[in-house]
Chains A and B, each alone.
Chain A
Amino acid sequence: MSKIVRSNKRRELAEKALDKKPSLGEDIDLSRYSSTAEEHAYQEKPSELPAQDKAQLMKVGLMLDDASQRSGTFVQIDRSVVHSSTSQEGVEVLAVTQALEKYDWLQDYWWHAVSVDQDKFTAQAEIDLQNGYFIRALPGAKVVYPVQACLYIAHKNLAQKVHNIIIAEEGSELHIITGCAAHPMSASGLHIGVSEFYIKRGAKVTFTMIHNWAPEIEVRPRSGAILEEGAVFLSNYVSMKPIRSLQMYPVARCIGEGAIVRFNSILVAPPGSHLDVGSRVLLNAKGSRAEIVSRTITTGGTIVARGHIAGSAPEVKGHLECRGLILSERGTIHAIPELKGEVAGIDLSHEAAVGKIAEEEVEYLMSRGLGRDEATAMIVRGFLRVDIEGLPPELAEELKSAVEVSEKELF
């Protein structure tokens, strides 16, 4: 009974927010997009997905032919969940609609880390929920191989709306690789993705998201994470392909002592792309720590790189590093690092730098026999290299190869 009352309330809030403009980023006229798409058939074997879609999915790090290095797989095309499976004890991977039916308690997590009435996009995700994934590590489970998840737009002009829930129960360890992509012919589309992370006491989640959209896709992720005592959240985000517009500002809240958050993002804006991406960490518990690192490159597009760390508890520590490289006469990078301290005895710092490649560095490499272009490419490769502390070696390797694949297309 109470469950229905609560969800009615959420629906009301969502309805009121249906026209609420986003606080950041360009507003989007949702009537331009359609909410319907043909159904796609469920595949027992992900290897049997259509060849062209498969090729796109592999580019964002999915292993579909041999998933022995994965502990679970989730694939959604347009509105349809076409595959979901697990291959390791202790980890659950379900379509989120299925999980809502299976677990009453899931209501307690639904819209708990993200507000349903934040803006028109969250409201839409509530009113017209299509699906999304539910990934959960059971208490104490150490999930060795990553779970892979993919959200894919195939239908032209679709507004895809998903709601994902990730739960790492006490003492568990979970790695997730998620890739988002669009069919090369889908031309235009909108992706609204709500993701809520709940990382319980002593649990650890590494989440690596690779976006590989198309030049006419608009993307509005809405993510929030809640960390309990001693929890660790490492989030890596990569978007290096043309995309019409992307705006996201995930927020992690450390509510338990000693929780640790690290956000890394690698963003490239080709001409015509507009990216407004930030990460925010609220250090609300004693001794919690945050590190936000972003590397942004424009080859002609616009990037707003935000970062925000707020400390409201003793002995918290945070560092924000925003570095931007302008590789074209026309590109713009606007770095906006913010720090807020509300108590004494905290340690927050930031460094931000935006500029062209230093000629002195190019010449140094040229004096070793590299041509100008080779020298520039090497400096850019170095710039994009973020050594991520605490990332398991296989994941670091995956991230590296994802960056390298896109990097080749930069020049």
Chain B
Amino acid sequence: MLSVEGLHVETHGKEILHGVNLSVEAGETHALFGPNGSGKTTLLMAIMGFPRYKITAGRILFKGQDITQASLDERARLGIGMSFQRPPVVRGVKTRDMVRACMGGREDDEAVASLAARLNMGDLMDREINYGFSGGEIKRSELLQLLAQGPDLVLLDEPESGVDLVNIALIGQMINELLQKELKRNRTRSGLIITHTGHILDYVNATRGYVLLNGSVVCQRDAHECLDTIKKNGYEGCVKCLK
């Protein structure tokens, strides 16, 4: 599904990622760990295709196709979707408009309404997108948009941060829906989830985990083992493990 090869990424004139390799097969979900500032967001933004994150070397393959040169909206239309940690406010544009836009040509007001109701988001639909939203509301709104978009590869940037314990289960359920957890086999959708705390792993079924330190992947193993090690030894442990 996704294969990142020797990726170097620069933003604001500074190289942040120094040759990252990873690959996610169809139907798999992987987790990305790492301390603040290690380059996790940079990696997802570069995969999504944000022009501010310049790929200076390496390449990205998606569904077997080299998309390194593809634009942001082309990548979205090819089937990559992302939930943002801090999406911008767009004044006058309502959540409903965003959800409709995510559906592309398949707009269906009834489907939008039932999706929103199921996610307990009815009253957010007529608000300006992200304007005065609480942390939890932003996360739910981001996931709602992704559900409407239905991407084959889902990139999630800290989907659980700032969400209280009651809503974290709801978030987990939405992510599972995005990633077709209900299908026991023949899952086609893939995910790459940044998690700082690891809480979301109690709800979603991640197989592999990566640890990113100073712009390089320093460790790659079972996601839960990875989390346990970090919990026990901190990221310093990962550094030692390297040696």
Q: Which residues does A use to contact B, with CB under 8 Å?
A: 323, 358, 360-361, 363-372, 374-375, 378-379, 381-385
Q: Are A382 and B91 in contact (CB under 8 A)?
A: yes
Across-interface contacts of A375 in B (CB, < 8 A): 73
Q: Tell me the smallest distance from the CB of A1 to a CB of chain B, in Å.
A: 58
Give the residues from 104 to 159 in chain B that come closer than 8 angstroms, CB to CB, to chain A: 104, 128, 145, 149
Report the separation of the CA atoms of residues A364 and B90 in the bound assembly, to the nearest whole angstrom.
9
Q: Is the CB–CB distance between A363 and B72 below 8 Å? A: yes
Given the complex of chains A and B, what is the CA–CA distance between A306 and B84 in angstroms? 38
Task: Indicate if the CB atoms of B73 and A370 lie closer than 8 Å.
Answer: yes
CB distance from A291 to the nearest CB of B (A): 17
Q: Judge whether A370 and B101 touch: CB under 8 Å.
A: yes
Of the listed stretches B92-100, B162-170, B188-196, chain A binds B92-100
A360-B88, A365-B98, A367-B76 given; 17 more Cβ-contact pairs under 8 Å:
A361-B88, A364-B90, A365-B90, A367-B72, A367-B82, A368-B76, A368-B98, A369-B104, A370-B101, A374-B101, A378-B93, A378-B97, A378-B101, A379-B93, A381-B93, A382-B92, A382-B128
| Neighbour of B90 across the interface among A323, A367, A372, A382, CB < 8 A | A382
Of all chain A residues, the one with the shortest Cβ separation from B48 is: A367
B51, CB-defined interface residue at 8 Å: yes
Q: Smallest CB-CB separation from A353: which chain B residue?
A: B91
Chain B residues whose C-beta falls within 8 Å of the C-beta of A378 in the assembled complex: 93, 97, 101
Contact with A along B52-86 (1 / 0, CB 8 A): 00000000000000000001110011000110100
Residue of B77, B82, B92, B102 with most chain A CB atoms under a 10 A cut-off = B92
Report yes or no: A382 in contact with B97, Cβ–Cβ below 8 A.
yes
Q: Is the CB of B101 within 8 A of A365?
A: yes
B50 contacts A by Cβ under 8 Å: yes
Contacts of A365 in B (CB 8 A): 90, 98, 101
Docked pose: A358 CA to B101 CA in angstroms: 19
CA distance A361 to B88 in the complex (A): 6
What separation, in Å, do the CA atoms of A236 and B75 have in the docked complex?
A: 42
Complexed CA–CA distance, A391 and B216 (Å): 57
Q: What is the bound-complex CA distance between A128 and B48, given in angstroms?
A: 66
Closest to A382 in B: B92
Q: List 29 A-B contacts (CB under 8 A).
A: A323-B91, A358-B88, A361-B90, A363-B51, A363-B72, A364-B90, A366-B71, A367-B48, A367-B50, A367-B76, A367-B81, A368-B76, A368-B145, A368-B149, A369-B73, A369-B77, A369-B101, A369-B104, A369-B149, A370-B73, A371-B73, A378-B93, A379-B93, A381-B92, A382-B91, A382-B97, A383-B91, A383-B92, A384-B92
Residues of B within 8 A of A366 (CB): 71-73, 76
- B234 CB-CB contact with A under 8 Å: no
Q: Which residues in B have their C-beta under 8 angstroms from that of A382?
A: 90-94, 97, 128
Cα separation A374 to B104 with both chains bound (whole Å):
11
Q: Which residue of A lies closest to B77 (CB)?
A: A369
CB distance from B25 to the nearest CB of A (A): 24
Which residue of chain A has its CB nearest to the CB of B71?
A366
Q: Return chain A residues, CB-CB under 8 Å to B98.
A: 365, 368
